[in-house]
Structure 1
Amino acid sequence: MPIDPPTLQDPTTTQDWTTTQDWPALQDWIGRTEKATEVLTAAQVQRFLATFDRDGPLDDGADAPLLIHLCLTQPAIRASALGPDGHPARGGFLPPVPLPRRMWAGGQFTFHAPLRIGDRVTRQSRIRDIQQKQGRSGPLCFVTVDHRIEAAGRLAVTERQDIVYRGADGPPVPVTSDTAPAGVHQRMIRPDATLLFRYSALTFNGHRIHYDAPYATGVEGYPGLIMHGPLQATLLAQMAADVAGRPPSMFRFRSLSPLFDTADVMLNASPDGPDDPDGANMALWTARPGGPVAMQAQASW
């Protein structure tokens, strides 16, 4: 199952905003960098494993769980610098996009070496690109960020993060309404408020759509709390490693439609086509029962 460029709303044509005051300012953010460092502790790993209802070693030097780097080196923004949605106010490392809704549209991870408990982890981030497009329900702005994760002097993870900004007119339009197929391997997850809150806490993510139901439904117009994109990606990456018996060397994903705490979520995995007899690639996806594909992913070994 090939992964196409990330999108939430089938953008059609690139919008020429060069005549407005916003576009040149946003272009100035390309090439900006940020660096942060944090020690990966056994306590962090324990909380991560508890959130995902998994077991794992907690000894110094033991390999840490897959995608725990998303919970490390996150910006600690003062409360007075947050916007009404719980996100940091516009500006800083990310560009001040004049669209109110921000979501993680997709990304790719390449795993070079495992993180280990006790490692001093450094994240170096750089804004690669900014593009503005016109979607079916209005303007969109895509920001691509590259991350380089190093631990104890070795390269551990390289990551591409795709962020989309959109207008405030209701939830994003699903790319497809077709019912998702069933995978060869399936696992049911209940994205209740406790899971979403704990993952928000792990990642120090103040975005209120994930834990504040009155805000998510009454202000942003969603039918319930939204399941994080990185949370879905982590669950699918864990499933890929469980099915294959070893962690993948590469994992990429894109969001097609949102998932909410109003229904259970099915994790699906299947061999990636008849031309892959050695099982070097695996297709994965999430969906609510009877619903369309919400996140599409591919793992490779």
Structure 2
Amino acid sequence: MNEASPALCIDHLRGWIGREDIGLDIVGEDLARKYHATMDFPGEPPGRGEIAPQLIHFCLAQPAAPTAALGSDGHPSRGGFLPPVPLPRRMWAGGALTFHADLRVGDATRRISRIEDVVLKQGRSGTLCFVTVSHRLEANGALVLEERQDIVYRDATMPGSAAPTTPAREAGTHRRAKEAGAPMLFRYSALTFNGHRVHYDRPYASEVEGYPGLVVHGPLQAAWLCNYAAEIRGAPPKRFSFRGLSPLFDHDGFALHANEAEGGLALWTARQDGAICVSAQAHWG
């Protein structure tokens, strides 16, 4: 057992099931402009009243804990809305979204979040605790999207340990080379108010969490894939899901891939050796 495990009481943590949190925000023109620039989208950013890119809502109504209340990893200290899981590493493992309407620049939004489940498992890397959160996003009083967010907490990785990898996969029918340097990761962290130091603090990422470089955000990869799907089909998907499989680092050469699949597209990010980092599914029906 790891050092954190004895303090992990699943019955106590499951007491958080049913807790809710509400956040309010506006899809501002300044946010749309900065998001457009960070993501390197072509053309001009959307103006007031125009459709905002899918998954820009990851930037909206983020919790704003005081800096003094952040943990050593840059995340807010445990407790509050999310259960106080004592395992030291927290990651966004994946999620699923259903889009009911377009989000537009200038919309006033309301996010209602709820803890749906807390589950303890044993994996290859040790103890894992999965927290499932549902989000409902409304714009000007109307439902825009519903989302399931999967968060995983795990034991610490010793510096120098090999990062998990996935089997190589051949290139997709659609392929686009990408880069994700430190400036992009810093900008995305700022837009999403994400203080996790693995995305911008190289000494912390390597010396404390044991990674060989800065970690590319899973939601950022999901946003690339979702918008890539919309570009390929000429229309934004109605449903989109994604899952993190292995870490991607700022020095990695990688690409976005897509294949036709039953009812939609299968998409993924993969390093040059073909190892998949994030897999996704997009559907229009």
TM-score normalised by structure 1 residue count: 0.89
Q: One-letter code of the match for 2:264?
A: N
By how many angstroms is 1:56 displaced? 4.4
- State the Cα deviation string for residues 12-60 of structure 1 (Å, max 9, x = none): xxxxx9x976222201101100001011111100000000111345332
Q: One-letter code of the match for 1:207?
A: H
Instruction: Answer whether contact 2:8 2:85 (CA < 8 A) is retained.
Output: no
1:74 and 1:250 mapped to 2: Cα distance?
23
- State the Cα deviation string for residues 82-103 of structure 1 (Å, max 9, x = none): 0000000000110100100000
- Within 5 Å, give how 1:51-70 maps onto structure 2: 51-54=38-41, 55-70=43-58
- State the Cα deviation string for residues 222-244 of structure 1 (Å, max 9, x = none): 00000001000000001000000
Q: Find out whether 1:230 has 2:219 as its counterpart.
A: yes
- What is aligned with 1:282? 265
- What is aligned with 2:164? 174
1:21 and 1:252 mapped to 2: Cα distance?
30
- What is aligned with 1:163? 151
- What is aligned with 1:145? 133
- What is aligned with 1:13? none
Match of 2:251 among 254, 262, 275: 262
Q: One-letter code of the match for 1:33?
A: E
Q: One-letter code of the match for 1:160?
A: R
- What is aligned with 1:11? none
1:22 and 1:80 mapped to 2: Cα distance?
27
Q: How many residues align?
A: 277
Match of 2:26 among 33, 39, 49: 39
SS in structure 2 at match of 1:217:
helix
TM-score normalised by structure 2 residue count: 0.94
Unaligned 5+ runs, structure 2:
none
Q: One-letter code of the match for 2:147?
A: E
RMSD: 1.6
Structure with more contact order per residue of length (Cα contacts < 8 Å, sep ≥ 6)? 1
Q: One-letter code of the match for 1:204?
A: F
Q: One-letter code of the match for 2:270?
A: A
- State the Cα deviation string for residues 240-278 of structure 1 (Å, max 9, x = none): 000000000000011111100121221001101xxx4xx
SS in structure 2 at match of 1:133:
strand
2:169 and 2:8 mapped to 1: Cα distance?
42
By how many angstroms is 1:181 displaced? 1.6
Q: Quick one: percent identity of the two aligned structures?
A: 55
Q: One-letter code of the match for 1:28?
A: G
Instruction: Answer whether contact 1:22 1:98 (CA < 8 A) is retained.
Output: no
Instruction: Answer whether contact 1:172 1:257 (CA < 8 A) is retained.
Output: no
Unaligned 5+ runs, structure 1:
1-16
- What is aligned with 1:295? 278
By how many angstroms is 1:79 displaced? 0.5
By how many angstroms is 1:105 displaced? 0.6
